Amino acid sequence: MYIENSILKKQLSYWLIFMFSLISLMIIVGGLTRLTDSGLSITKWELFSGTFPPLSEQQWLKYYELYKLIPEFKILNYDMTMNEFKVIFWWEWTHRMLGRLIGLTYLIPLIYFTFKTEFKKLFNLYFIFLLICFQGFIGWYMVSSGLVDRVDVSHFRLSLHLFMAFFILSLIQWNYFKINIKKNYQINLNFFFPFIFLILIFAQIIIGAFVSGMDAGLIYNSWPLMGNTYFPDDNEMQNLFNISAFNDPSLVQFIHRNLAYIILFFYIVILLHVYQKRLKKLFYIVNVIGFLLLIQILLGILTLISSAHILIASMHQISSIFLVSSSVYFLYVNINSKLPSLKDN
């Protein structure tokens, strides 16, 4: 995305930074909505009518009575009081309002920038807007899975919703880089190292959503063993190779743990390669990724040991935002800024 006008370029950059921050906040609030089991408190989509919260006792009673009709209330929360319901309602309402705010704060400036420059230069940004709209549909698709025959949402739909949030966040970051980072055509690190690393991080986010969606973090609250053994003793190894493994909480937790070890091992391979090739301009970002990766693993362990304590679990998700964004930057500079090795000087 090449923008000649320096003022417009600065405006676009500030806007993308703002959108990145707002979507990061959305991910954090979404995680807290899940951790507080608030996601099913509003049982209607209400794209426009739900903009304002209940303003009278009668309106509160209407939402409360609708909540009483779903399995989560009938089976799990049958003794929930109105005041307790209001707590989970506010989390879900805030999450949905942030979604509306993201849509408006993205579309209105985008229209403004369209009048200031050519549409074809903003095509990528319009594609992101379509993804934001689609994300709203996925959110309702996720919520609807928990309104009839389940006491919770489908962990598959939850993982899709979370993956799309991180994908949109990464695309916004990528377009910011396209505006602000110039290309430098020299030799660089092999493209597959940062690309595969980022793919592994996204895979871990998806599996992490499975863990969250099935409350798999509430079992085997020990590390490095799962109870008394490395492999969960309530399962058999051959089950790990069945598609049904993604519906089994203990196996999903096992996969989540071991994928973290694989990511750490692959990072060490990248680190050694960068230092052996003496790619000096990559030292900083590789070290930052290593620090964030260790923080993420430590918070993951603490989340398990604490039985998914809400504060620690939320910090675990927040750190994943930093890890993903640094990994996206690592990939971008390797594609667009071909960095020189000191051996070539």
Better pLDDT: 2 or 321 = 321
Residues 282, 161 share a domain: no
* pLDDT, tens digit (0-9, with 9 covering 90-100), for 128-170: 999 999 999 999 999 999 998 888 999 999 999 999 999 999 9
Residues 297, 152 share a domain: no
* pLDDT, tens digit (0-9, with 9 covering 90-100), for 25-71: 999 999 999 999 999 999 988 877 778 889 899 999 999 999 999 99
Residues 198, 96 share a domain: no
The pLDDT value recorded for residue 339 is 45
Residue positions counted in the chain:
345
Domain tally for the chain?
Answer: 2
Better pLDDT: 150 or 292 = 292
CA distance 301 to 244: 25
Residues 187, 176 share a domain: no
Residues 329, 195 share a domain: yes
Single-letter amino acid, residue 121: K
- Which residues, in sequence order, are CB contacts of 207 under 8 Å at separation 6+? 159, 252, 255, 256, 259
The pLDDT value recorded for residue 47 is 76
Inform me whether the pLDDT recorded for 239 exceeds 70: yes
* pLDDT, tens digit (0-9, with 9 covering 90-100), for 74-88: 999 999 999 999 999
CA distance 238 to 236: 6
Among 180, 213, 231, the domain boundary falls at 180
The pLDDT value recorded for residue 33 is 95
Count each helix (H run) and each strand (E run) in the chain, helices first: 10, 0
Confidence of residue 313 (pLDDT cuts 50, 70, 90): very high
Residues 56, 33 share a domain: yes
Structure tokens of 148? 């009839």
Domain containing 311 equals: 183-345
Structure tokens of 121? 């230069």
Confidence of residue 3 (pLDDT cuts 50, 70, 90): low
Residues 326, 240 share a domain: yes
* pLDDT, tens digit (0-9, with 9 covering 90-100), for 205-216: 999 999 999 999
Coil, helix or strand at residue 48: coil
Among 180, 200, 228, the domain boundary falls at 180
CA distance 148 to 324: 35
Among 151, 180, 209, the domain boundary falls at 180
Peptide bond into 224 cis (omega under 30): yes
The pLDDT value recorded for residue 50 is 74
